[in-house]
């Protein structure tokens, strides 16, 4: 028995929304954590708490104050409810990691996540931590009510709620920022539109010409083609702005007239609508295919609607017409998503666990591969070194050395490339896994919620489907890998949960045998998990 209790600090945070909806307050979170501390025999020295509605700057201040306080007072234990209460950004996560790395006696207890982090945490726990930060960050990115509210207010007042395009600058106090024409750059913008409207310039030629005239990006370099194209399509310059696919009347002073903008837009697109409309179609681009000729469907904007048609074989995409409305396609797709979404929190938890395991395996596989490649690289380095000495000692000729060196160099390049690819593969895998969670957590909500924007729903669709085939009103889909997993997996999870209620469920195991081996392995985890869950419910 220890006589001196371990000193610890509590960090509590609660969102104002949660407080409103559930009545769950800061103090109940504190009580929960105090309770835990008592059981663990920790002595709480100080509690730091913050409300979610506090500004990001404020939150960070409290967080850093706490970290400082712990260092100063030699406190080695930090207690928090869950990862997303502790941090929602990678920056703070790194501060935590550094702090832990400093001393192996330091610990972070994430009580509801059942996670205790320390310097020598197992890789699985570290991964768990990483994935949770990713979720927390995603939560901030997507659902930050506060930011959205602020943005809405800005838009209502006629101001673009973010950095203005080149040619404008921001001025004014925080909360009252407005955009004015940058007197140094504005004239170039006007010139650029005028030049392009003549029809004598390609975008590339325009980029070069403008650079010669002295027009530069904020980083003081030539404004590249893609950027120029974007600027020429930006209605901001004639007094409007586009936010999340919707156009608003802005309060900023226009640089060009609407007529000039439209003239330029017409040229840009060979008579098609402005590219900013096209932006709203990126989610589907290349994914929708004609089910007869398997070529990409072309989407066109007509009188407030997008219509898809096959320019190749010109088949009827809807039942009685050549064109199909995007809205009809979307509605069909969303219904499909809902049918493969988890039905409740219990299933969600199970999925989370299964995913965690599979993440782990994947990342171990990558680790081994990366290690192998790095070893090879090191061997090459060594060989080059030896060879160089051989050359100096005249054991080999200079020609032989040069030739061999070239060989090594190319081998090194190949390996470096392969390593890079492996890195991006790894993140692709995470994204896919993340997609499942996204769906698991929100698809039903997103689909049913009146709050979800059309863009958010569309994003969900693009996560879910890799190919969408359309012909004569029939829609056939191919799910992305992540969602394929869900489609096969969720009915089984449901089944397991139902079995949980029956006393003898051993013989039911055969039901799951047809599942692929990975799922079978995860199924064992699910069964364990279900057993645990029955304690809770
Ligand atoms: Zn076709």
The pLDDT tens digits for 500-532 are 544 344 433 333 323 333 443 443 333 332 222
Q: Spell out which residues have Cβ within 5 A of ligand 1, the ion.
A: 290, 292-293, 310, 312-313, 315
What number of CA atoms fall less than 13 Å from residue 403's CA on the CB side? Answer: 5
Residue 466's pLDDT band (boundaries 50, 70, 90)? confident
pLDDT of residue 314: 92
Query: How far lies 535's CA from each of 39, 336, 421, 530, in Å?
Result: 20, 33, 44, 9
> Do 236 and 167 have their domain in common?
yes
> Do 300 and 418 have their domain in common?
yes
> Do 336 and 478 have their domain in common?
yes
CA–CA distance, 228 with 392 (Å, rounded to integer): 54
pLDDT of residue 322: 93
Beta bridge partners of 83: none
For residue 8, which phi and psi values (nearest 5 degrees)?
A: -145, 160
How many domains does one find in the chain? Answer: 4
Q: Which residue has the tokens 């900013």?
A: 276
pLDDT of residue 530: 29
pLDDT of residue 392: 83
> Do 419 and 507 have their domain in common?
no
Distance from the alpha carbon of residue 275 to the mean position of ligand 1, in angstroms: 25
Q: Is residue 328 part of a domain?
A: yes
Over range 94-108, report the average pLDDT: 86
Distance from the alpha carbon of residue 321 to the mean position of ligand 1, in angstroms: 13
Residue scoring higher pLDDT (91 or 265)? 265
> Do 25 and 131 have their domain in common?
yes
Strand ranges (E), 349-507: 465-471, 474-479
Query: How far lies 263's CA from each of 151, 276, 292, 301, in Å?
Result: 31, 15, 38, 18
Residue scoring higher pLDDT (200 or 101)? 101
Distance from the alpha carbon of residue 265 to the mean position of ligand 1, in angstroms: 29
Beta bridge partners of 298: 309
CATH of the domain at 185: 3.90.1750.20
Over range 149-163, report the average pLDDT: 84
CATH of the domain at 57: 3.40.50.1390
Record the tokens describing residue 499, joined without a space. Answer: 């079995």
Residue 298's pLDDT band (boundaries 50, 70, 90)? confident
pLDDT of residue 272: 45
Q: Tell me how crowded residue 389 is: count the other CB atoms within 10 A of its CB.
A: 11
Q: Please name the residues in contact with 461: beta carbons below 8 A apart, sequence gap of 6 or more.
A: 283, 284, 330, 333, 334, 337
Q: Which of 41-55, 78-92, 142-156, 226-240 has the lowest mean pLDDT?
A: 142-156
> Do 396 and 345 have their domain in common?
yes
> Do 479 and 527 have their domain in common?
no
pLDDT of residue 342: 64
Distance from the alpha carbon of residue 331 to the mean position of ligand 1, in angstroms: 22
Q: Does residue 391 register a pLDDT over 80? A: yes
Record the tokens describing residue 108, joined without a space. Answer: 């972070």
Task: State which of 255, 277, 299 marks the end of a domain.
Answer: 277
Distance from the alpha carbon of residue 337 to the mean position of ligand 1, in angstroms: 26
Distance from the alpha carbon of residue 335 to the mean position of ligand 1, in angstroms: 25
Record the tokens describing residue 486, joined without a space. Answer: 């869900």
CA–CA distance, 112 with 110 (Å, rounded to integer): 6
Q: Is residue 256 part of a domain?
A: yes
Distance from the alpha carbon of residue 271 to the mean position of ligand 1, in angstroms: 24
Q: Please name the residues in contact with 386: beta carbons below 8 A apart, sequence gap of 6 or more.
A: none
Distance from the alpha carbon of residue 328 to the mean position of ligand 1, in angstroms: 19
Residue pLDDT, tens place only, 433-454 = 444 555 555 555 555 555 555 5
Q: For residues 101 and 119, is the Cβ–Cβ distance under 8 A?
A: yes
pLDDT of residue 462: 65
Angle, vertex CA 205, rays to CA 202 and CA 210, nearest 5? 120
Distance from the alpha carbon of residue 475 to the mean position of ligand 1, in angstroms: 14
Residue scoring higher pLDDT (118 or 416)? 118
Q: Is residue 1 part of a domain?
A: no
Q: Is residue 423 part of a domain?
A: yes
Residue scoring higher pLDDT (412 or 494)? 412
Nearest to 63 by CA among 11, 109, 111, 107: 11
Over range 410-424, report the average pLDDT: 73
How do strand 465-471 and strand 288-290 relate by DSSP bridges?
A: parallel
How do strand 77-80 and strand 6-14 relate by DSSP bridges?
A: parallel
Residue pLDDT, tens place only, 160-170 = 988 899 999 98
Q: For residues 189 and 181, is the Cβ–Cβ distance under 8 A?
A: no
CA–CA distance, 177 with 319 (Å, rounded to integer): 51
Distance from the alpha carbon of residue 286 to the mean position of ligand 1, in angstroms: 14
Distance from the alpha carbon of residue 411 to the mean position of ligand 1, in angstroms: 45
Q: Is residue 23 part of a domain?
A: yes
Q: Is residue 400 part of a domain?
A: yes
Distance from the alpha carbon of residue 315 to the mean position of ligand 1, in angstroms: 5
Q: Tell me how crowded residue 381 is: count the other CB atoms within 10 A of its CB.
A: 12
pLDDT of residue 275: 41
CA–CA distance, 275 with 304 (Å, rounded to integer): 15
pLDDT of residue 412: 81
Distance from the alpha carbon of residue 312 to the mean position of ligand 1, in angstroms: 5
Residue scoring higher pLDDT (357 or 427)? 357
Q: Which residue has the tokens 């020598």?
A: 120
Task: State which of 277, 311, 338 marks the end of a domain.
Answer: 277
Distance from the alpha carbon of residue 66 to the mean position of ligand 1, in angstroms: 62
Over range 328-336, report the average pLDDT: 83
> Do 290 and 306 have their domain in common?
yes
Distance from the alpha carbon of residue 297 to the mean position of ligand 1, in angstroms: 8
Nearest to 92 by CA among 128, 120, 118, 64: 64
> Do 332 and 271 have their domain in common?
no
CA–CA distance, 321 with 110 (Å, rounded to integer): 57
pLDDT, mean over the chain: 75
Residue scoring higher pLDDT (342 or 159)? 159
pLDDT of residue 142: 57
Residue 81's pLDDT band (boundaries 50, 70, 90)? confident
Distance from the alpha carbon of residue 468 to the mean position of ligand 1, in angstroms: 13
Distance from the alpha carbon of residue 295 to the mean position of ligand 1, in angstroms: 6
Distance from the alpha carbon of residue 290 to the mean position of ligand 1, in angstroms: 5
Mapped to the 3 state alphabet, what secondary structure does 203-233 carry?
Answer: HHHHHHHHHHHCCCCCCCCCCCHHHHHHHHC
Residue pLDDT, tens place only, 230-285 = 999 899 999 999 887 788 889 999 999 888 888 788 777 654 444 444 444 455 66
Distance from the alpha carbon of residue 268 to the mean position of ligand 1, in angstroms: 27
Task: Identify the burial level of 349 via C-beta atoms within 10 angstroms of its C-beta, where 0-12 means exposed, 13-18 middle and 19 or more buried.
Answer: middle
Q: Is residue 473 part of a domain?
A: yes
Distance from the alpha carbon of residue 269 to the mean position of ligand 1, in angstroms: 23
- H or E element in which residue 35 lies: helix 26-40
- H or E element in which residue 412 lies: helix 398-448
Residue 474's pLDDT band (boundaries 50, 70, 90)? very high
Query: How far lies 420's CA from each of 95, 342, 376, 377, in Å?
Result: 27, 35, 15, 13
CA–CA distance, 57 with 82 (Å, rounded to integer): 21
pLDDT of residue 360: 61
Distance from the alpha carbon of residue 313 to the mean position of ligand 1, in angstroms: 4
CA–CA distance, 236 with 256 (Å, rounded to integer): 9
Q: Tell me how crowded residue 160 is: count the other CB atoms within 10 A of its CB.
A: 24
- Domain assignment of residue 234, given as a range: 155-277
Distance from the alpha carbon of residue 127 to the mean position of ligand 1, in angstroms: 46
Distance from the alpha carbon of residue 316 to the mean position of ligand 1, in angstroms: 8
Distance from the alpha carbon of residue 333 to the mean position of ligand 1, in angstroms: 20
> Do 357 and 289 have their domain in common?
yes
Residue scoring higher pLDDT (414 or 314)? 314
Distance from the alpha carbon of residue 385 to the mean position of ligand 1, in angstroms: 59
């Amino acid at each position: 028995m220890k006589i001196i209790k371990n000193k610890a600090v509590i960090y509590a945070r609660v969102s104002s929304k949660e407080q409103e909806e559930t009545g769950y307050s800061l103090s109940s979170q504190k009580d929960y954590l105090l309770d835990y501390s008592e059981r663990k025999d920790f002595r709480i020295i100080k509690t730091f708490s913050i409300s979610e509605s506090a500004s990001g700057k404020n939150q960070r201040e409290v967080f850093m104050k706490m970290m400082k306080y712990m260092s100063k007072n030699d406190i080695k234990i930090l207690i928090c409810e869950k990862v997303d209460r502790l941090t929602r950004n990678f920056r703070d996560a790194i501060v935590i990691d550094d702090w832990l790395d400093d001393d192996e006696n330091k610990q972070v207890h994430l009580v509801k996540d059942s996670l205790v982090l320390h310097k020598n945490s197992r890789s699985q726990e570290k991964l768990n931590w990483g994935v949770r930060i990713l979720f927390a960050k995603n939560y901030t990115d997507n659902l930050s009510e506060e930011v959205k509210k602020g943005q809405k207010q800005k838009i209502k007042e006629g101001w673009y709620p973010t950095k203005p395009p080149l040619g404008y600058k921001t001025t004014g106090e925080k909360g009252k920022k407005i955009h004015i024409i940058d007197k140094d750059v504005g004239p170039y913008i006007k010139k650029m539109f005028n030049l392009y409207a003549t029809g004598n310039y390609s975008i590339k030629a325009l980029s070069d010409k403008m650079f010669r005239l002295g027009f530069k990006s904020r980083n003081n370099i030539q404004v590249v083609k893609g950027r120029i194209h974007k600027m020429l399509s930006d209605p901001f310059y004639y007094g409007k702005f586009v936010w999340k696919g919707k156009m608003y009347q802005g309060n900023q002073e226009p640089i060009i007239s609407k007529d000039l903008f439209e003239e330029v837009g017409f040229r840009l697109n060979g008579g098609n609508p402005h590219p900013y409309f096209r932006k709203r179609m990126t989610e589907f681009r290349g994914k929708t295919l004609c089910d007869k000729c398997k070529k990409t469907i072309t989407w066109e904007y007509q009188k407030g609607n997008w219509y898809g048609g096959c320019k190749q074989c010109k088949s009827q995409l809807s039942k009685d017409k050549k064109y199909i409305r995007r809205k009809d396609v979307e509605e069909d797709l969303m219904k499909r998503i809902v049918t493969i979404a988890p039905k409740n929190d219990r299933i969600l938890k199970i999925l989370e666990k299964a995913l965690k395991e599979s993440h782990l395996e994947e990342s171990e596989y990558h680790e081994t591969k990366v290690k192998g490649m790095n070893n090879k690289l090191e061997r090459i380095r060594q060989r080059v070194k030896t060879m160089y000495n051989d050359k100096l000692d005249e054991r080999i000729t200079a020609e032989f050395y040069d030739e061999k060196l070239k060989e090594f160099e190319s081998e090194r390049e190949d390996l470096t490339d392969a390593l890079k690819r492996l890195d991006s593969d790894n993140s692709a895998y995470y994204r896919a896994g993340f997609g499942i969670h996204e769906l698991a957590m929100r698809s039903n909500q997103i689909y049913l919620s009146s709050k979800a924007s059309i863009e958010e729903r569309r994003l969900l669709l693009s996560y879910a489907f890799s190919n969408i085939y359309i012909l004569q009103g029939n829609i056939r889909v191919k799910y992305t890998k992540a969602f394929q997993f869900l489609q096969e997996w969720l009915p089984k999870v449901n089944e397991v949960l139902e079995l949980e209620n029956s006393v003898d469920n051993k013989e039911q195991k055969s039901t799951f045998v047809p599942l692929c081996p990975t799922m079978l392995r995860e199924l064992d985890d699910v069964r364990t998990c279900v057993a645990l869950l029955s304690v809770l419910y």
